[in-house]
Amino acid sequence: MALKIIDKYAKSFVKCEELAALEPVAAQALKTVNARNGAGNDFLGWVDLPVNYDKEEFARIKVAAEKIKKSCDALVVIGIGGSYLGARAAIEFIKSPLYNSLKKDTPEIYFAGNNISTTALTELISILEGKDICVNVISKSGTTTEPAIAFRVFKAMLVEKYGKEGAKDRIFVTTDKARGTLKHFSDEAGYETFVVPDDVGGRYSVLTAVGLLPIAVAGIDIDAMMKGAQDARAAYTDEANADNDAIKYAVMRNALLGQGKCTEILVGYEPYMLMMSEWWKQLYGESEGKDNKGIFPASVCFSTDLHSLGQYIQEGQRNLFETVVNVKNTGAEFVIPDDEANVDGLNFISGKKLDYVNKTAMMATLIAHNDGGVPNLMLELEDRSAYSFGYLVYFFEIACAISGYMLGVNPFDQPGVEAYKKNMFALLGKPGYEDMKAELDKKIGK
């Protein structure tokens, strides 16, 4: 098993009876997922995805990735939310947060269209100057403002640089199978397209072409990643598995919420966990945060943030719990050198592995926070391989679905995301939004 949950540092914060009462609720939630008869069941395509995926498209993804690797110095991945977080998390987790600066035989990968920042866009344009580029635009709806603006820019850049015909071979589009405007436009323009399945929502889509194409371009073994997800699916969808860690995680989260612990902090001890945490925050925040319910998902990177947020976690409001992702084998080794002068007084750890110090910091912090009234769950992950990443992704997805059903929400919709979009369109003067604009102008005081 690539992953194991350790709950002994959280158990003392909840009563045994509470856990016993929640366990059947969680078991029922898993049954609802498996039977596909709960809220949002049109969006459960991700459950069987690790075994029931489009094999022809999977092979095409590998071919496209090879083509991209051969024809460009840099791939620009355009997408927002679920349309980019998974790929970025995988590349940083498995390869490195410094992937673009590593010595490698794969293209640099840049993410665009995930904000409306002029600085970010103009800096990227300048970085790409003189480089051969390909673009992978990812948008299920095809109409999301942020990626749509970025796609306008990079499509025009490619056409100017390579001509219409040349650009055709460098633009790869991942979108809805048939309905969306982006699909129609791409077919007309002759771009190669990949599918975001109808029954898979953005935040559950990393194991579709949405994540797999950029991940494969980074030289990551997507077969191993799918195998990890397959093995996790076998373990966590099994209703007869009495030792189901996804159920344990969902039960513990809901029990802690019952004790007023309404913020969960995902803790990593490695910078390569940063984007994984961003992906996790979207998954849990967008799935559970509705109907005035949900646990607020936050994240930290220790030991860095022990020197900033550590104070709050140790002694601030006691409405927090932490879930620590402990990557057992981090895949690198470094020994702390001896220093004759010993100015820092650290010669007592000379010759020790740096990871030993990091893991010691983890246990020291866990106990300190626990003593300070912060329950800690730990997810022990074997390593940072593609297999383990696939396993962890599936674990979080199924636990999120179970936990969301336990809370009594639909974990697969995101109605709240529309509110800002409507306001923005009205304020920007989009035709059809005139009445709304007048109301908003009044609120703003125009």
Q: What does the CA dihedral 234, 236, 238, 239 come to, rounded to 10 degrees? A: 180
Count of residues in the chain: 446
Return d(Cα 263, Cα 49) in angstroms, integer.
Answer: 30
Between 81 and 268, whose beta carbon lies closer to ligand PA5? 81
Question: ∠ at Cα 85 (254, 312), nearest 5°?
Answer: 50
389's tokens: 């990443």
* 286: contact with ligand PA5 by CB under 6 A: yes
* 203: contact with ligand PA5 by CB under 6 A: yes
Nearest approach in angstroms of CB 162 to ligand PA5 is 25
Full DSSP string of 356-410? HHHHHHHHHHHHHHHHTT--EEEEEEEESSHHHHHHHHHHHHHHHHHHHHHHTS-
Nearest approach in angstroms of CB 171 to ligand PA5 is 16
**Is 95 in the active site?**
no
* Count of residues that bind ligand PA5 according to CB under 6 A: 14
Catalytic residue among 70, 103, 307, 442: 307
Return d(Cα 47, Cα 397) in angstroms, integer.
Answer: 9
Catalytic residue among 92, 108, 146, 286: 286
**Is 62 in the active site?**
no
Return d(Cα 395, Cα 47) in angstroms, integer.
Answer: 11
Query: Strand ranges (DSSP E) for 198-273?
Result: 263-268
The one among 38, 50, 86, 201 contacting ligand PA5 by CB under 6 A: 201
**Is 103 in the active site?**
no
Nearest approach in angstroms of CB 66 to ligand PA5 is 25
* 113: contact with ligand PA5 by CB under 6 A: no
Site string for ligand PA5, 116-155 (x = CB under 6 A): -----------------------xxx--x--x--------
* 82: contact with ligand PA5 by CB under 6 A: yes
Between 83 and 323, whose beta carbon lies closer to ligand PA5? 83
* 183: contact with ligand PA5 by CB under 6 A: no
Closest CA to 401 of 244, 278, 188: 244
Residues identified as active-site: 286, 307, 421
Where does this chain bind ligand PA5 (CB under 6 A)? 80-83, 139-141, 144, 147, 201-203, 286, 414
